[in-house]
Amino acid sequence: MNCWHCNNELIWGGDHDMEDEEDYDIVTNLSCPKCHTHVDVYHPSERLIKEYEDYDKKPKSFIENAKKEQKELDESYQQSKRNKKDRTTSEKLQEELEPITPCSMSDE
Ligand SMILES: [Zn+2]
């Protein structure tokens, strides 16, 4: 395996079992002797592999639906970014219009 950054051959540093991790069972440490990039390779556990297999088995409409939802989320995020300037202005207005103090109702 070569370095992502400089394409030099990576040096294998060792495999470690990951006992506390549910999703990944082995992490392999690699490092680049040329640019000193460090690479950890996480091997999925049986549990995670099964999860992915189950996901692949799901009907396509489910994935299409998830994509659609993601798209809508992105759009609303873009929308909120566009509205940010307006919202800041209206927030200021809100403050001016509502000079309500929380303890105005308490006895003096
Ligand atoms: Zn490198």
Per the structure, the count of domains in the chain is: 2
Please indicate, yes or no, whether residues 17 and 39 belong to a single structural domain of this protein: yes
Q: Which residues surround ligand 1, an ion (CB under 5 A)?
A: 3, 5-6, 8, 32, 34-35, 37
In a domain, 49, yes or no: no
* Structural domain of 36: 1-44
Q: Helices (H), strands (E): how many in the chain?
A: 3, 3
Beta strands in 18-72 (DSSP E): 24-31, 38-44
DSSP letter assigned to residue 18: -
* Cα 71 to ligand 1 centroid, rounded to whole Å: 36
Cα–Cα nearest to 43, from 20, 11, 17? 17
DSSP-derived 3-state class of residue 68: helix
In a domain, 9, yes or no: yes
DSSP letter assigned to residue 23: S
Tokens coding 46 = 């049986």
* Cα 12 to ligand 1 centroid, rounded to whole Å: 13
| Distance from chain centroid for Cα 51 | 18
Please indicate, yes or no, whether residues 62 and 35 belong to a single structural domain of this protein: no
Please indicate, yes or no, whether residues 29 and 62 belong to a single structural domain of this protein: no
pLDDT range class, residue 55, cuts 50, 70, 90:
confident
Q: What is the pLDDT of residues 22-47, one digit of tens each?
A: 999 999 999 999 999 999 999 999 99
Report the pLDDT value the prediction gives residue 89, as an integer from 0 to 100: 66
* Cα 6 to ligand 1 centroid, rounded to whole Å: 4
In a domain, 105, yes or no: no
